[in-house]
Amino acid sequence: MKNLDATDIEILKILQNDSNITTKELAKEVHLSSTPVFERTKRLEKTGYIKKYIAVLSEEKLNRALTVFCHVKLKEHTKTIGHKFVQDIQSLNAVTECYNISGDYDFLLKVLVRDMKHYQDFVLNQLGSVQNIGSVQSTFAMGKIKHTHAVPF
């Protein structure tokens, strides 16, 4: 963050809340004209502070209302097995996030499915086909208390 000034940070805060805002509206919010705001935004994109712009979709409306967190432990820990696991997980559409974690488990998966029946199908037919999984512990989200994509400043 050493190359960012207060205006850059304000632009990032606004864009992560609403990436659909126009340059003109953004310029008004940060008290600059459109041209410098456009140039700053392009610089923030080029230097990697802004990775991409996305639409956040409704899981409920798209019939993916059941959120499950899967703690996965591998049977063995080699470079080849780890890479193969990562490759296999990336191909599973129901897995929306995957983290390599420390502690009792090796990976934490966030899975979005329609309902319990579809989760069972996912475990048996998709996750079950991934080699070298030693164990899986599932935790079902009962409610969403806080969910944000915002990076705290």
pLDDT score for 22: 97
CA distance 122 to 125: 5
The residue-averaged pLDDT of 66-83 equals: 95
| All domains of the chain in start order, with CATH | 7-46 (1.10.10.10), 66-140 (3.30.70.920)
Give the confidence band of 91 by pLDDT, cuts at 50, 70, 90: very high
C-alpha 96, offset from chain centre: 7
Q: Is the Cβ–Cβ distance between 49 and 4 less than 8 Å?
A: yes
Q: Cα–Cα distances in Å, from 53 out to 19, 29, 63?
A: 6, 19, 23
The residue-averaged pLDDT of 65-80 equals: 96
Question: 150: Cβ–Cβ under 8 A, 6 or more apart, which residues?
Answer: 13, 16, 17
The residue-averaged pLDDT of 123-130 equals: 95
pLDDT score for 2: 80
